[in-house]
C-alpha cells in the first residue's frame, strides 16, 4: 500500500505544543509587569502559586519564567528570599542586541559613530541650555581620567529627552562594550571635556555643540582603528 505523503496545506491545523502554554504564561506575566502590576525589585508569586493561578504545570511556569529571564524582565535569585524578581527596564537590552550585530559584522564603528555625531552635539546643546548647580557638580565629578564615558552620560541625563538620553547612552555603552571586547588598549580622550564643561557651564549651547561634534568625530577615528585591530584579531587563524 502506498501512503500519500503528508503535505501541509495553508489551512492545516498544527498540533498544540506544551510550549504554547508557557509562552502564554510568559506573555501574561510580561503584560502585568509592563502595566506596573509588578514593580521593579518586586518578587513575582512563587512557581507553585503561579501554576495554580494559571492552572498549568509547574514545568510550564518554570519555562515561562525562564523566557522572561532571557528577555531581561526578571532575574532569578537563590536562597530563602529567592525567586523571580522584576528588573528595572533599561536600554541595556538594546545595547546587547546591537553588540551582537557588531560581533556578527552587521554594523561597524563607522556606522555607529556616524549616528553619534548626529545626535551628541544636540545633546550637548540641550545640556548647556538646561544646566544647573547639581549638574555642574555631576559633570565636575566625572572629569577625572578613566571616567570619559561618565561625562557623556551626565550630558545625556541633562538633555531632558529620555529617548535621546537612552539612544546616546546605548551608543556609548555599545562603544564601551566593543572597546572591552577588542582589548587593544584604548583610552577615552578626556582633554576636550574641559572645553565642553566650560561651554556647558556658560550655557553656551552653540559652542558646546560645536566642540562635541569635533570630539565625537575625533573619537570615532580612534575607535575605527580599534575595530580594525579587533577584526584582524578575530579573523586570525588562531582565533578560529
Ligand atoms: Zn568624551
pLDDT at 50: 95
Torsion angle (degrees, nearest 10) of CA 138, 142, 144, 147? 170
CA distance 35 to 85: 16
CA distance 222 to 188: 9
Q: 234 alpha carbon to ligand 1 midpoint, in Å? A: 27
In this structure, the number of other CB atoms found within 10 A of the CB of residue 142 comes to 19
Q: What percent of the chain has pLDDT over 90?
A: 74
Q: 3 alpha carbon to ligand 1 midpoint, in Å? A: 70
Q: 112 alpha carbon to ligand 1 midpoint, in Å? A: 15
Q: 192 alpha carbon to ligand 1 midpoint, in Å? A: 7
Q: Is the per-residue pLDDT at 81 higher than 90?
A: no
How would you label 53-85 residue by residue, b for 16+ Cβ within 10 Å and e otherwise?
ebebeeebbbbbbebbbeeebbeeeeeeeebbb
Q: Is the per-residue pLDDT at 2 higher than 60?
A: no
pLDDT at 16: 65
Lowest mean per-residue pLDDT among 4-13, 96-105, 126-135, 154-163: 4-13
Q: 100 alpha carbon to ligand 1 midpoint, in Å? A: 24
Q: Is the per-residue pLDDT at 233 higher than 80?
A: yes
Contact 158, 126 (CB under 8 A): yes
List, for residues 20-49, the tens digit of each pLDDT value. Answer: 899 999 999 999 999 999 999 999 999 999
Lowest mean per-residue pLDDT among 7-21, 54-68, 96-110: 7-21
Q: 135 alpha carbon to ligand 1 midpoint, in Å? A: 17
Q: Is the per-residue pLDDT at 8 higher than 60?
A: no
Q: 232 alpha carbon to ligand 1 midpoint, in Å? A: 26
- 47 is written with which cell numbers? 512557581
- Averaged pLDDT, 227-237: 89
CA distance 188 to 179: 10
Residue with cell 496545506: 9
The CA–CA distances, whole Å, from 90 to 72, 86, 136, 200, 212 equal 9, 12, 25, 27, 25
State pTM to two decimals. Answer: 0.75
Q: Is the per-residue pLDDT at 240 higher than 60?
A: no
Pairing of strands 83-86, 74-77: antiparallel
pLDDT at 235: 85
Q: 195 alpha carbon to ligand 1 midpoint, in Å? A: 11
Amino acid at each position: 500500500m502506498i501512503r500519500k505523503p503528508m503535505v501541509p496545506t495553508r489551512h492545516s491545523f498544527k498540533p498544540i505544543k506544551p510550549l504554547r502554554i508557557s509562552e502564554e504564561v510568559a506573555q501574561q506575566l510580561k503584560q502585568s509587569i509592563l502595566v506596573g502590576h509588578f514593580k521593579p525589585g518586586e518578587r513575582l508569586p512563587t512557581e507553585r502559586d503561579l501554576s495554580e493561578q494559571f492552572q498549568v504545570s509547574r514545568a510550564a511556569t518554570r519555562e515561562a519564567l525562564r523566557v522572561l529571564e532571557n528577555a531581561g524582565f526578571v532575574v532569578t535569585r537563590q536562597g530563602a528570599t529567592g525567586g523571580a524578581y522584576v528588573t528595572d527596564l533599561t536600554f541595556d537590552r538594546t545595547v546587547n542586541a546591537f553588540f551582537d550585530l557588531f560581533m556578527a559584522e552587521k554594523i561597524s564603528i563607522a556606522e555607529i559613530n556616524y549616528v553619534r555625531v548626529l545626535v551628541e552635539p544636540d545633546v550637548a546643546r540641550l545640556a548647556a541650555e538646561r544646566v544647573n548647580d547639581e549638574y555642574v557638580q555631576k559633570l565636575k565629578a566625572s572629569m577625572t581620567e578613566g571616567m570619559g564615558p561618565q561625562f557623556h552620560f551626565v550630558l545625556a541625563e541633562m538633555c531632558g529627552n529620555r529617548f535621546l538620553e537612552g539612544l546616546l547612552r546605548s551608543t556609548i555603552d555599545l562603544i564601551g562594550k566593543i572597546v572591552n571586547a577588542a582589548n587593544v588598549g584604548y583610552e577615552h580622550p578626556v582633554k576636550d571635556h574641559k572645553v565642553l564643561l566650560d561651554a556647558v557651564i556658560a550655557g553656551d549651547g552653540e559652542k558646546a555643540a560645536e566642540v562635541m561634534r569635533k570630539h565625537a568625530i575625533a573619537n570615532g577615528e580612534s575607535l575605527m582603528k580599534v575595530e580594525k585591530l579587533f577584526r584582524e584579531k578575530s579573523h586570525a587563524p588562531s582565533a578560529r
